[in-house]
Amino acid sequence: MKPSETAGVIMSQRLACQAVLAAGLAIYLAATPAGAAENPAPQPANPAGGGTSWSTEVLPSQTPEAAATDPEAVQFDPEAVAQIDKINAYFNNIIHLEGRFTQIDPNNDRTNGRFYVQRPGKLRFDYAPPSKMRIVSDGQFLTIEDHDLNTVDKFPLDSTPFKLLLAQEVDLLRDARIVTFKTVDGLIMITLEDKSGDSPGRLQLFFGAPEIELKQWVITDPQGLNTQIQVADLVEGRELEKKFFDTTTVSFPSFSD
C-alpha cells in the first residue's frame, strides 16, 4: 500500500471512530463534575463501548418472580431464563480468553486485530497495522490509545456495557435490561440496555447454539450507529502479566493476521 493510501485509511478509521462515540461521550461528561472537561474532543469508537456511561447500580432481576419490581422490562419464560443462565455460566467460566476480531464501523470499514480477556475486569484489543489503536482495560478504567496522535482517553470501566461481561459474577438478568432474547439461524441473540435508562445505547450479543460460544457483538451508540465486532479462533489463552493490561505510550509490537 502506498504511503498516501495508508494515511488515508488511518484517517478514515479515526474519523469513523470519532463519529461513533461523540454522542456517548457527551452523556458521560454530563455525569462528571462541572468544569472537569470544558472542551472535550470527540472520542474514537471501541469494541467495548467506552463512553456510553452505563449505570453502576444493581437493580432487580427480570425473572418472572421479579416482574412486579420492574414492570417496564420484558419478562421471560423459564426456558428462556435457563438459556440466559447458560450464557451467564459461559462468561463466568472464562478466566483467560484470546482470539482474533474484525471490527465493522458504521461506514462499513473493517479493521482487524487480536484481543485478550482476563476476568475479572481486564481486556485488551490490539489493532493490526496500519492502525495504531489499542483498547485496554486494567480492571478499573477502559483506555483508548491512539499511537498516531499520541493521545490517551480514559473511561471508568463501569461506564461501559462490558462491565456486565467482565464482572466478578456475570448475571445478565440481574444487572441489565434484556430487551430481546431469541434464536435466529442457529444463533442466540440477546439485546441488553442499561437498567437505569440513563443511556440510550444497546449491546447485542450473538452466540452459537446449542453449545454456547460468543460469535459477535454489536454496540449501538446514542445516535443509533452500530459498531460490529466479529470474533474467531477463540482459545482459552494463558495468564498474562498484570502490566500487559496497563496503559502504555510505547510503540506496538508487530503481528500478522
Domain ranges of the chain: 3-35+42-238
* CATH tag, 3-35+42-238: 2.50.20.10
How far CA 11 is from CA of 56, 109, 133, in Å, comes to: 34, 12, 12
The pLDDT of residue 121 is 93
Model-level pTM?
0.71
Instruction: Select from 80, 94, 101, 83 the least CA-distant residue to 209.
Output: 83
Q: What is the pLDDT of residues 168-222, one digit of tens each?
A: 999 999 888 898 999 888 899 999 988 766 666 789 999 998 889 999 999 988 7
Q: Does residue 61 surpass a pLDDT of 50?
A: no
pLDDT digits 0-9 by tens, 132-169 = 899 999 999 999 898 888 888 888 888 888 888 999 99
Class of residue 236 by CB neighbours under 10 A (exposed 0-12, middle 13-18, buried 19+):
exposed
